[in-house]
Amino acid sequence: MSAAPDHRPRMADLPLGERIAKAMPVLLVPILLVLGFLAIGNPSSWLTLTVSGLAMGMMIFIMASGLTLVFGLMDVINFGHGAFISVGAFVGISVVLALAEWAQAPSLLLNLGVVLLAVLAAMAITGMLGWAFERVIVKPVYGAHLKQILVTVGGLIVIEQLIHVIWGPDEIFFARPEMLKGAVTFWGAALEKYRLLAVAIGLVLFVVMRLVFRRTRIGLIVRAGVENGEMVEALGYRLRLVFIGVFIAGSALAGLGGVMWGLYQEVITAGMGEEMMILVFIVVIIGGLGSVEGAFIGALLVGLLQNYIAFLEPKLALISNIALLTAILMWRPQGMMPVVKAK
């Protein structure tokens, strides 16, 4: 560790190869886009699939971001995260169904109003649920991974079953708000309006999250806390409060993801969160546990790859995610952008 007094930062000295390796995860998305384009060969199909893949990726990212941060900050792995996805979907869709008149009116303003209300209701409820979940289920098992996994799985089941108790045992089918149905044509490609909206929401959210992380003190605390929580406390911050805040925000985001996914599928089931968790875990692992950027890239890769493969070779689509997971872990056993841990 010894060095001359005015040692230059190593960044500038990095050889080209290493710099590419560092940027490689970010480059994977455009590479996949190009490969997809070459394999599909038809620009309009490619565009349709790409938008659909990006939409899916954005929604998965929204669900995954909270989970990965909660892990990074407190080393807590929450298998119950999927419950917030389901609850968010049921609360949100209940709002959409309750405001059926607005939803069916051919007015973009009213339709978006319904979606906004649905999202706000879902996020409020899942946020509160997250707070309760943290206090009752997670808090007593800090620092014990085995128990965390067991207890949060238990919490997932209980919440899922309560959804059955409240909303009945069957899945709920419904229609998207009027103006979000159908597609727009762009360069000969049919692009579903709702998917475009999902991509937009996802992008805005990602940009906002980045700004929060780079520009605000709370963002700095979270980033620093992921790396070395003890030191953050030694500087005078109550990491526990920050963690609860992140847990609530992450749960609310899962709820948002749930509403969006529900609107995308036009059907919701109590088990949908559990199903989505599979993809969320894959995304979080390949991104690198604790890394929001990694989760973002991972989610886009999963969404795009799944859509491309489903078009090219439908039978392989089922295992494309596992294949991606395997490939990434062979390349980087810790995930694409592993978080530096001080301990």
Partner 1 sequence: MSDAILRIENVHTDIAQYHILHGVDLQVPRGAVTMLLGRNGVGKTTTLRTIIGHWPAREGRIVFDGDDITALKTSERARAGIGYVPEDMGIFSDLTVEENMVLAAASGPLDTGRRDRIFEAFPPLRTFWRSPAGTLSGGQKQMLSIARAMAEERRLFLIDEPTKGLAPAIVSTMAGALRDLKRQGASILLVEQNFAVAKALGDFAAVMDDGRIVWAGEMEQLATDAGLQERLMGLSMEAG
Partner 2 sequence: MLMRLISGDRPRSRILTLVLLAIFLGLLFAPFLFPGVRALETAARISIFILLAASYDLLLGYTGVVSFAHTMFFGMGAYGVGLASQHMGRGFGPLILGSLAAAVLAAALAFIIALFSLRVRAIFFAMITLAVASAVAVLVSQLSSITGGEDGFTFQIPRALGPANRMGEVMGVNITGKILNYYVVFFISLALFFVLLRIVNSPFGTVLKAIRENDFRAEAIGYRVVRYRTIATCISAAMAALAGSLFALWLRYVGPETTLSFEIMLDLLLMVVIGGMGTIWGAAIGATVMVLAQTYLQDLMGSAADATMAIPMLSRLLDPDRWLLWLGVLFILSVYFFPSGIVGRLRGGR
Distance CA 280, CA 60 (A): 6
The token pair at 87 is: 């609850």
Taken in order 127, 129, 135, 137, the sign of the CA dihedral is: negative
Distance CA 183, CA 98 (A): 25
**CB of residue 277 vs partner 2: minimum separation in angstroms?**
7
Window contacting partner 1 (CB under 8 A); options: 23-31, 49-57, 145-153, 219-227? 219-227
Query: What value, to the nearest 5°, has the Cα angle with vertex 81 and ends 122 and 78?
Result: 150
Contact between 75 and partner 1 per CB under 8 A: no
| Cα→Cα distances 105→113, 262, 291, 295, Å | 11, 20, 41, 37
Contact between 326 and partner 2 per CB under 8 A: yes
Window contacting partner 2 (CB under 8 A); options: 38-46, 153-161, 192-200, 219-227? 153-161
Q: 283, 332, 290: which is closest to 304 by C-alpha?
A: 283
Window contacting partner 2 (CB under 8 A); options: 58-66, 86-94, 223-231, 325-333? 325-333
> Which one of 3, 4, 38, 146 is in contact with partner 2 (CB under 8 A)?
146
101-140: contacts with partner 2 (CB under 8 A): 137, 140
Whichever of 236 and 314 has its CB closer to partner 1, that residue is 236
> Which one of 122, 197, 239, 282 is in contact with partner 1 (CB under 8 A)?
239
Contact between 79 and partner 2 per CB under 8 A: yes
The number of residues that bind partner 2 (CB under 8 A) is: 42
Whichever of 56 and 151 has its CB closer to partner 2, that residue is 151
- Is 114 exposed, middle or buried (CB count within 10 Å of its CB: 0-12, 13-18, 19+)? buried
Q: 47, 38, 328: which is closest to 184 by C-alpha?
A: 47
Contacts to partner 1 by CB under 8 A: 1-7, 9-11, 217, 220-221, 223-224, 226-228, 230-239, 339-340, 342
